[in-house]
């Protein structure tokens, strides 16, 4: 078996004013140049199929792709919407990518973003006329988007504000999932237990064990209702990381770890200094137990023991964007 822990890694990092990539292994890491953007990074997704390829959704700046590991980024001008809030590369088809937009809608490309089609079944959901947003000048939007690791026909979309929707046929048709708070921020799935999902909302974190048909609040031990980002270990569906704060202004930010599927949480104090919020984190799919996290101030930390202990990487970046993080092999 390959020793993935000894192999170099590349981390794509979304910033408030750009995007960059850092690469390395062990204690040796190099930060690449920052590519400036007209708007903050929203979400990043690295292709598991095409080496050096990753996609970036950048809010009102559109969609970008890199084919050289983050050295350069190409704006995909054919993308038909002025908004791009979330993005997901297909796990086995190197040309297919999905983007969530505003008003809440979904687009997909089969040629790496050179052309796009709207997934009309997304807005055909009967409940879509109830989707909205609390700021009058903005509309509902697809805050997060995930393709299930066990079956690429399963897609999940988090709508802010509109709850969760699910597709079982590759995005052709969708179903609204009841029983969850409507202001959804982030989705987490693990190949270790495909029917389980974790979701961060502005009310609390949630869990489902039946693909989203039924939900439960999992906030025991979380001091702050505003759950911002959540991620579950690829090899252990009960090991979950969560960042939360007191409100949307990110007051009293806390980073948490659960080893029992979110039924109880304990604070992680070694990943960030007081007041510096952990805003993005991603598990290394090729090295189970390894997870990388980024703080708002630009610090990158790593754990190699499922989040028990953390070490800072020797890089300093500008201010990080929420949730814009992707890990892959070099």
pLDDT tens string 158-203: 999 999 999 999 999 999 999 999 999 999 999 999 999 999 999 9
**Alpha-carbon radius of gyration of the chain:** 18
SS3 state of residue 127: helix
Residue 319 has pLDDT above 90, yes or no: yes
pLDDT band at 91 (very low <50, low <70, confident <90, very high): very high
Q: In what order do the strands lie in the sheet with 117-118?
A: 86-89, 97-100, 106-109, 117-118
Mean pLDDT on 264-277: 94
Q: Find where tokens 């590369």 sit.
A: 89
pLDDT band at 136 (very low <50, low <70, confident <90, very high): confident
91 vs 249, higher pLDDT: 91
pLDDT at residue 137 in the model: 86
Please name which of 78, 50, 84, 66 lies closest in space to residue 13, comparing C-alpha atoms. 66
Query: Residues 6 or more apart from 84 whose CB is under 8 A from it?
Result: 42, 57, 58, 59, 61, 62, 63, 99, 100, 101
Query: Residues 6 or more apart from 3 whose CB is under 8 A from it?
Result: none
pLDDT at residue 7 in the model: 83
- For residue 83, the enclosing domain spans 4-329
Query: How many residues are there in the chain?
Result: 330
pLDDT band at 3 (very low <50, low <70, confident <90, very high): low
Mean pLDDT on 280-300: 95
pLDDT at residue 1 in the model: 45
230 and 283 in contact (C-beta within 8 Å)?
no
pTM for this entry: 0.96
SS3 state of residue 168: coil
Cα–Cα distance list, 142 to 103, 177, 253 (Å): 8, 15, 24
- Domain of 44, CATH number, reads 2.130.10.10
Give me the number of domains the chain comprises.
1
């Amino acid at each position: 078996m390959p020793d993935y822990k000894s192999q170099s890694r590349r981390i794509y990092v979304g910033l408030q004013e750009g995007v960059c990539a850092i690469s390395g292994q062990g204690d040796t890491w190099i930060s690449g140049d920052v590519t400036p953007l007209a708007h903050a990074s929203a979400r990043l997704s690295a292709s598991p199929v095409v080496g050096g390829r990753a996609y970036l959704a950048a809010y009102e700046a559109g969609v970008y792709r890199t084919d050289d590991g983050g050295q350069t980024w190409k704006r995909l001008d054919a993308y038909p919407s002025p908004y791009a809030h979330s993005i997901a590369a297909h796990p086995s088809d190197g040309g297919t990518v999905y983007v969530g937009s505003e008003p809440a809608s979904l687009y997909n490309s089969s040629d790496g973003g050179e052309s796009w089609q709207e997934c009309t079944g997304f807005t055909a959901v009967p409940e879509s006329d109830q989707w909205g947003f609390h700021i009058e000048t903005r509309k509902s939007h697809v805050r997060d988007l995930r393709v299930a690791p066990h079956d690429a026909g399963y897609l999940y979309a988090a709508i802010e504000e509109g709850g969760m929707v699910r597709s079982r046929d590759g995005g052709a048709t969708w179903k609204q999932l009841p029983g969850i708070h409507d202001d959804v921020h982030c989705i987490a799935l693990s190949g270790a237990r495909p029917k389980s999902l974790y979701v961060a909302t502005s009310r609390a974190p949630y869990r489902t064990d039946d693909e989203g048909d039924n939900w439960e609040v999992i906030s025991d031990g979380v001091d702050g209702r505003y759950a911002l980002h959540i991620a579950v270990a690829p090899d252990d569906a009960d090991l979950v990381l969560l960042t939360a704060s007191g409100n949307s202004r990110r007051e009293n930010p806390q980073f948490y770890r659960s080893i029992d599927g979110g039924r109880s949480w304990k604070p992680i104090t070694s990943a960030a200094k007081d007041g510096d919020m952990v805003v993005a984190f991603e598990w290394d799919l090729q090295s189970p137990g390894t997870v990388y996290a980024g703080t708002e101030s630009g610090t990158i930390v790593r754990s190699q023991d499922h989040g028990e202990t953390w070490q800072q990487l020797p890089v300093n970046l500008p201010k990080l964007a929420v949730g814009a993080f992707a890990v892959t092999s070099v």
